[in-house]
Amino acid sequence: MRKSVQHRLTRVYLIQILFISLATVFGVWATAQIIERVLVKEALIKEAEHYWSLYDRQTDFPRPNTRHLLGLLVDDNTRDPVPEVLRQRRDGYGRVHLDGANPIVYIEHHDGARLYLIFDEQRVSVLAFLFGILPLTAVLLVIYLSSFIGWRKARALVSPLVQLAEALRHTDVSDPASARPDLDALKQDPESEAGILASALDAYSERLLRFVNRERQFTRDASHELRTPLAVFRANLELLASQIGDRPVISRMSDTVDDMEALVETLLLLARTEQREILTEELVVNDVAVNLMERLMPLADRKQIRLQVRQSALLNIDASETVLNIVLTNLVRNAINYSGSGQVTIIVDADSIHVEDTGAGMDQEELARMLKPFERGNSNESGHGLGLAIVQRLCERFHWALEVASQPGKGTAVRVRFH
């Protein structure tokens, strides 16, 4: 799940508050434990030592009796009223439940006498609360308030960046008319980081759109302009063939014209698909493959290559027949041109179509290079080095998976998966 910068800032703020609170609670608890188990205990032990030193001089010396400390003594001469719960306790330090309260008690024997020191820390706790907890609470409130102000300031600083990200996220880059987002609101403060970034993105998108429009215009115009000389060239080739007969040189020139016409048609199609949606229809891929085999059979015969179609399933897809024909024509033409001899097989299965040849094959480095524009394999055949690159671009455009596998000496297999 995508998490925005503001969400992460809020999470960091809450984690910070949680850690401060836990540290404070732990600190208060640890301080209380230290006070009770170390300071108070040590004070009562020292108080008992001091009393015994006075008791050794004067056995009837008064026991401690202050607002917070009460001393009770039991010896041969003195029988203070000691509660039963204290008489049953062993010597030492601890808390007891006494008269609805839980005072701290220290009990100690000395020469047959037993001293009970009862420390009521309730009033001390009130003083600790007034002079400890309340100031600590005030400090915590200041820390919380400072953290909250910092969080608000951080959100305010990143808010323009979040707006910029949202504007870019909702921009339809496939449509040139709306591919340039409206960033005027973010450019009101040109000195801010968001304003500088918005201005830079705006300028970059302007240059990019101009470049894309020039490329589309050139592709469209060049494709239209090339149609006329190709048509003239084909007509003259047919006239020449009728006069002197079909010769190998005329066949090679005719194949080249076919390649050029297919390339021009493909360029026109690519220029159109990036401007408007291509209409689709339900197609039977098996029929398209058979028709393609019949159309390219003369080319395969001239190359002395056996061209065949194998069908293991009936494959129906919703696609543009023109696009499918261009993709398969490029693949089969490539296979015929680069096979040298042998056979080219078109295989139709449940969710894809394969074009396999028995040519020289390619290693991984050459295979990666073949998927780039203007790169050709090792063949004496003419070509433009655009076949596989165009197929790859069309497959990406229509969300078809293109898979190419090849081994030197074993041929090449290309698979177009539609589902």
| Both tokens assigned to 62 | 């008064």
Query: At residue 371, what is the residue type?
Result: L
What does the alpha-carbon distance between residue 198 and residue 201 come to, in Å, rounded to a whole number? 5
How many CB atoms lie under 10 A from the CB of residue 71? 19
The pLDDT profile of the chain, 419 residues, written as one tens digit per residue, is 345 666 777 788 788 888 888 887 777 777 766 666 677 788 888 988 998 898 888 888 888 888 778 898 888 888 888 888 888 888 998 888 887 778 888 999 988 899 999 887 666 566 555 556 667 777 778 888 888 888 777 776 676 666 666 666 666 655 555 566 666 666 666 666 667 777 777 777 778 777 777 777 776 676 667 777 888 888 888 888 888 877 777 777 877 777 677 777 766 766 666 555 667 889 999 999 998 898 888 888 888 889 999 999 999 999 888 788 888 988 898 888 877 778 899 999 999 999 998 887 777 777 766 665 444 444 444 443 455 777 888 888 888 998 888 888 788 889 999 87
How far is 21 from 18, CA to CA, in rounded Å? 5
> Which residues lie closer than 8 Å to 412 by C-beta, 6 or more apart?
335, 338, 356, 357, 359, 361, 362, 404, 405, 406
Tally: H helices and E strands in the chain: 11, 11
Tens of pLDDT, residues 117-174 = 988 766 656 655 555 666 777 777 888 888 888 877 777 667 666 666 666 666 665 5
Q: What is the pLDDT of residues 139-151, one digit of tens each?
A: 778 888 888 888 7
Partners of 405 in the β-ladder: 413
Q: Give the Cα separation of 185 and 177 in Å (integer).
A: 20
**CB contact burial 73-109 (16+ within 10 A = b; e otherwise):** bbbeeeeeeeeeebeeeeeebeebeeeeeebbbbbbe
Say which residue the tokens 């601890």 belong to.
Answer: 94
What domains lie within the chain, and their CATH numbers?
A: 5-125 (no CATH), 185-219 (no CATH), 278-417 (3.30.565.10)
